[in-house]
Amino acid sequence: MKKSLSPMPVMFHPRLSKIATRPSDFLERMNLYASNISNQIDDSEFKLTLLVGLHSADLPGNVSSSYPHLRVIRVSSPTLNFQSFAKRSMAILDTLQIQPNVFIAGDTSLGLLSCFRARSISNLEIPIQISIHGSFFGHRRDPISFAKSFLRIALLRLSLPSVQSVRVVSPEVKHEMISSFRVDPKIIFIAPIPFSVYPIFHTRDFQSINIGVIGRLHMERNVTEILEILDSLLGSSRISTVYFLGSGPLEKIVRVWKYKSEHPEKITLEGSLSHLELLNRLSDVDVVISAAVKEGYGLAIREALLSGAIVVARRNEGTQIVMESFQSGIYLYDTVFEANGMITNLLTGDRSPAQCIEGRKIQEAIDRESMKRICESWTAN
| CB neighbour list of residue 150: distance below 8 Å, 6 or more residues apart | none
Q: What is the 3-state secondary structure (H, E, C) of 11-70?
A: EEECCHHHCCCCHHHHHHHHHHHHHHHHHHCCCCCCCEEEEEECCHHHCCCCHHHHCCCE
Please state, in angstroms and rounded to a whole number, the distance separating the CA atoms of residues 82 and 110.
Answer: 6
- Confidence grade of residue 294 (pLDDT, cut at 50, 70, 90): confident
Q: What is the CATH number of domain 9-196+365-379?
A: 3.40.50.2000
E-strand ranges in 271-378 read: 287-290, 310-314, 330-333
pLDDT band at residue 268 using 50, 70 and 90 as cut-offs: very high
- Can you tell me the distance from the alpha carbon of 350 to that of 124, in angstroms, rounded to the nearest whole number? 67
Q: Whole-model pTM? A: 0.84
What is the edge-to-edge ordering of all strands in the sheet holding 209-214? 267-269, 239-245, 209-214, 287-290, 310-314, 330-333
- Which whole number is the average pLDDT over 35-43? 91
Q: What is the pLDDT of residues 102-145, one digit of tens each?
A: 999 999 999 999 999 999 999 999 999 999 987 776 655 566 66
The CATH number fitting domain 209-363, selected from 3.40.50.2000, 3.10.560.10, 3.40.1190.20, 3.40.50.620: 3.40.50.2000
Q: Is 9-196+365-379's fold the same as 209-363's?
A: yes
- Domain map (residue ranges) of the chain: 9-196+365-379, 209-363
Binned at pLDDT 50, 70 and 90, residue 1 comes out as: very low
Q: CA dist 31 to 214, 273, 362, 379, Å?
A: 24, 20, 23, 15
